[in-house]
């Protein structure tokens, strides 16, 4: 379902008023508990740690929302080799997943915006890794009519079909990983980056495990053949 500009800004207003303020209220609450305990001579380190953590997360959420809002809606798309961008991003992701990149079709894309989407996809694959195996992402591609399709299949914890739509909601945490949750902005940023180029991003459960993120971007007028570039 495509959202209008009004829908998107209504969603951001709700996210700011509800999700970010919830973290700030939590920080305020822990500080108040610390004040009470301090008056009683009790160790307050736990409450101070929780307050600091809530404040840091609120700051991170606001920073990520600002980044989302600054993504250009007038991208300059050119014929682009996605393999080069994927490998460029993978090198920068020091704790990222192992990459298996099949031959991919060229896409009409803005380099920086496509790189932004790939960063978020790989970060999610690393964050939501399965406990019993090293994270891996396999990227496959195809040309389907006017679209060049890139599929990023990871082997992580996966996602159920009923949670797919919620994964693209601003600040939505579909999974919580330990005591260091993400901002809930990864997939919204990836989707906005691709939609600004005239493409789409969808999410689906993997065949056996993990998650598949599919990017569709326009195919260049002439698709040059490419040899095997897997690794």
Q: How far apart are CA 225 and CA 105, in angstroms?
A: 8
pLDDT for position 37: 65
* Residue 88 CA, distance from chain mean position: 17
CA-angle at 8, arms to 73 and 72, nearest 5°: 15
pLDDT for position 72: 67
Q: How far apart are CA 187 and CA 189, in angstroms?
A: 5
pLDDT for position 140: 97
Place of tokens 């569709």: 216
pLDDT for position 142: 97
Output the tens digit of pLDDT for each of the chain's 231 residues. Answer: 445 444 554 455 555 555 666 666 676 676 666 666 665 656 666 767 777 777 777 777 777 777 777 786 666 889 999 999 999 999 887 778 999 999 999 999 999 999 999 999 999 898 888 889 999 999 999 999 999 999 999 999 888 888 888 888 876 665 555 544 566 788 989 999 999 999 999 999 988 889 999 999 999 986 555 555 544
Q: How far apart are CA 226 and CA 104, in angstroms?
A: 8
Q: How far apart are CA 134 and CA 163, in angstroms?
A: 24
Q: Which CATH class is domain 78-218?
A: alpha beta
Coil vs helix vs strand at 111: helix
Coil vs helix vs strand at 215: strand
pLDDT for position 134: 92
CA-angle at 11, arms to 16 and 187, nearest 5°: 90
pLDDT for position 9: 47
């Amino acid at each position: 379902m495509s959202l209008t500009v009004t829908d998107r800004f209504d969603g951001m207003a709700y996210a700011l008023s509800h999700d970010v303020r919830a973290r700030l209220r939590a920080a305020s609450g822990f500080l108040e508990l610390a004040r009470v305990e301090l008056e009683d001579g009790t160790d307050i380190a736990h409450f101070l740690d929780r307050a600091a953590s809530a404040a840091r997360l609120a700051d991170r959420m606001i920073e990520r929302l600002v980044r989302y809002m600054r993504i250009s809606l007038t991208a300059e798309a050119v014929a682009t080799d996605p393999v080069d961008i994927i490998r460029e991003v993978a090198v920068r992701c020091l704790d990222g997943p192992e990459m298996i990149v099949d031959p991919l079709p060229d896409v009409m894309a803005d380099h920086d915006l496509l790189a932004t989407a790939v960063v978020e996809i790989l970060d999610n694959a690393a964050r939501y890794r399965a406990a019993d195996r090293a994270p891996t992402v396999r990227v496959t591609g195809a040309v389907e009519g006017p679209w060049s399709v890139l599929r990023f299949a990871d082997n992580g914890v996966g996602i159920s079909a009923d949670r797919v739509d919620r994964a693209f909601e601003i600040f939505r945490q579909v999974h919580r990983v330990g005591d260091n949750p993400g901002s809930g902005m990864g997939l919204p940023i990836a989707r906005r980056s691709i939609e600004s180029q005239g493409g789409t991003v969808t999410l689906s459960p993997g065949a056996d495990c993990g998650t598949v993120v599919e990017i569709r971007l326009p195919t260049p007028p002439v698709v040059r053949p490419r040899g095997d570039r897997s690794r």
